[in-house]
Amino acid sequence: MAMNNKMKSLFVLSLSALALSACGTIRTKGGVHPVTAAEMFPITVDQQTVTLTLSADPTLTALTNRDKARLSAFLDAYASNGHGPITITAPSGNSADYFGQEMAADVRNALHDMGVPWDNMLGATYRVSGASTDQELIVSYTRYVASATACEGFGETWQRNRQNLPSKNFGCATQNNLAAMIIDPRDLVEPTALSPADTVRQVKAISDYQEGNSTASAEESSSSVSTTD
């Protein structure tokens, strides 16, 4: 009788352990563990070409103030999310070929005056028919755009979610918000390079530390914190 009671106790403990292990393991149909929100709703990063079209008017000898203002706004957008060089594509193949190259040179000079290095600009041409009178100069650069998976499947019945699994859309809104808010989606592809270190400041800080001088800035030295009872 004592042996039977002992065997019953072991059997009950085994069932309890099995139940606890089942509670700690969440499985979907087929025994596959749920994936993360980033895997269910991945953010894709694509390249897009941003263009600015300027009308090449042979009757003008220089860029107009309107063209310069448009170039300035275009350059502001490039500074925010542009990558790679700025390409200046001029018309070629008819009587206005020379003027197209002259206007491309004016655009390069204007961009350089606005702070774009010479080696960050590329030149290109496109063919136009000999009878065409509509000449356009195209300024372009590459940017990255992030987009997330659309959220769908809101008609789940939670009364039947006996395994307490997350909803089909769990984490989808967060992924979409991240894709919409990130300033430069290229950071999702690879991190932005760090700016060069201030070696002069580093050497001074090390020298002050070795000599026993304060390494704090003037603002930190003069700042104070007061407390009241």
Task: Please answer whether residues 107 and 136 qualify as being in contact, where contact means their C-beta atoms are separated by less than 8 angstroms.
Answer: no
pLDDT in tens, 85-134: 999 998 887 665 667 788 889 999 999 999 999 999 999 988 877 655 56
- In order of start, what are the domains of the chain with their CATH numbers? 46-147 (3.30.1330.60)
24-28, 67-71, 157-161, 211-215: lowest mean pLDDT where? Answer: 24-28
- What does the alpha-carbon distance between residue 195 and residue 214 come to, in Å, rounded to a whole number? 26
Using pLDDT thresholds of 50, 70 and 90, give the confidence band for residue 4: low
User: Which residues are registered as beta bridge partners of 51?
Assistant: 140
Give me the pLDDT at residue 27, please: 44
Count of C-beta atoms within a 10 Å radius of residue 133: 10
29-33, 149-153, 209-213, 221-225: lowest mean pLDDT where? Answer: 29-33
- What does the alpha-carbon distance between residue 70 and residue 107 come to, in Å, rounded to a whole number? 11
Give me the pLDDT at residue 22, please: 44
What's this model's pTM, rounded to 2 decimal places?
Answer: 0.62
Average pLDDT, the chain: 78
Give me the pLDDT at residue 139, please: 95
Give me the pLDDT at residue 109, please: 93
CA dist list (Å): 66 to 60, 70, 72, 104, 228: 13, 6, 10, 16, 60
Q: Nearest 5 degrees, angle CA 76-CA 81-CA 82?
A: 80
The mean pLDDT value for 48-56 works out to 90
Percent of the chain with pLDDT over 90: 28
Dihedrals phi, psi of 107, to nearest 5 degrees: -65, -40
- What does the alpha-carbon distance between residue 69 and residue 75 come to, in Å, rounded to a whole number? 10
- Cα end-to-end distance, the chain, whole Å: 73
Give me the pLDDT at residue 191, please: 79
Residues ≥6 apart with Cβ < 8 Å to 222: none
100-109, 118-127, 191-200, 218-227: lowest mean pLDDT where? Answer: 218-227
